Amino acid sequence: MKIKTFIFNPLQENTYLVIDEASSKCMVIDAGCLFDSEKQALASYIKENGLTLTYVVNTHLHLDHCFGNGFLFETFGVKPLAHPDDEDLLRFMKAHAGVFGVPFNEEPQPLGGYLNEGDTLTLGSEKFEVLHLPGHSQGGIALYNATQGVLFSGDSLFQMSIGRTDLPGGDYATLINALTQKVMTLPDATVVYPGHGPTTTIEQEKMYNAYL
């Protein structure tokens, strides 16, 4: 499995392209591409490497993680997947963009389906388990690949930090509970790919994350 990281939009969001090299199938996690140059960088990488886009997954539906959903649907015909508890956030994307001074005036791309706790996505020979991690948003999820020992945590867990909980739908106690029960119990060597910032490991977070 190969993981390609793009850093997109003014909020410096991590967009991940996950590739099963044996099948050339790929998955985009959190399509944050906002500007044309960012969209083309992602699309060109997929096309030039002969990849088949199979899934577009949103760990949550805050605007900086789903700017590119419409573009990917128009370009590759793949609709995004997310947890149903976050779907209402799409209605406020344009308003939130105005608050942040971000030039986004498109109609949000509707979801193509839902991801719930315990669901599994299969990408070639790779399997990803859905973990529901509410607290940063009500529908926050993570994707866990046990075989490869990787977790895509969205904005729930960062290197030595956690997601903010002061936005609508956020709740500190809920997030801490979800992380404690479902994430910090994963193997220490698990590599965490967060929605912003550098990667980390479960072991590092056990040792240095003051919130956990």
The residue range of the domain holding 90 is: 2-208
* Contact (CB, 8 A) for 83 and 140: yes
State the pLDDT at residue 99. Answer: 81
Count how many domains the chain has: 1
**In whole angstroms, what is the distance from residue 160 CA to residue 208 CA?**
6
Sheet holding 113-114, edge to edge: 2-8, 13-20, 25-29, 52-57, 80-82, 113-114
Query: Taking the complete model, does pTM exceed 0.85, yes or no?
Result: yes
State the pLDDT at residue 158. Answer: 98
In this predicted structure, the answer to whether residue 168 has a pLDDT above a threshold of 90 is no
State the pLDDT at residue 80. Answer: 98
pLDDT band at residue 128 using 50, 70 and 90 as cut-offs: very high
8-53 tens-digit pLDDT: 999 999 999 999 999 999 999 999 999 999 999 999 999 999 999 9
Higher pLDDT, 103 or 129: 129
Question: What token pair was written down for 101?
Answer: 């001074």
Phi, psi of 161 (to 5 degrees): -160, 180
211 strand-pairing partners: none
Quote the DSSP letter at residue 180.
I
| Rg of the chain in Å (alpha carbons) | 16
Mean pLDDT across 129-148: 98
- The distance in angstroms from the start CA to the end CA of the chain is 29
99-107: which pairs have CB atoms within 8 A and are 24 or more residues apart? Answer: 100/10, 100/11, 100/63, 102/9, 102/10, 102/34, 102/63, 103/34, 104/34, 104/63, 104/67, 106/70, 107/70
In this predicted structure, the answer to whether residue 59 has a pLDDT above a threshold of 90 is yes
pLDDT band at residue 198 using 50, 70 and 90 as cut-offs: very high
**In whole angstroms, what is the distance from residue 164 CA to residue 137 CA?**
9
**In whole angstroms, what is the distance from residue 65 CA to residue 68 CA?**
8
In this predicted structure, the answer to whether residue 109 has a pLDDT above a threshold of 90 is yes
pLDDT band at residue 167 using 50, 70 and 90 as cut-offs: confident
CATH, residue 9: 3.60.15.10
State the pLDDT at residue 176. Answer: 98
Q: Which residue type sits at 177?
A: N
pLDDT band at residue 102 using 50, 70 and 90 as cut-offs: confident
pLDDT band at residue 95 using 50, 70 and 90 as cut-offs: confident
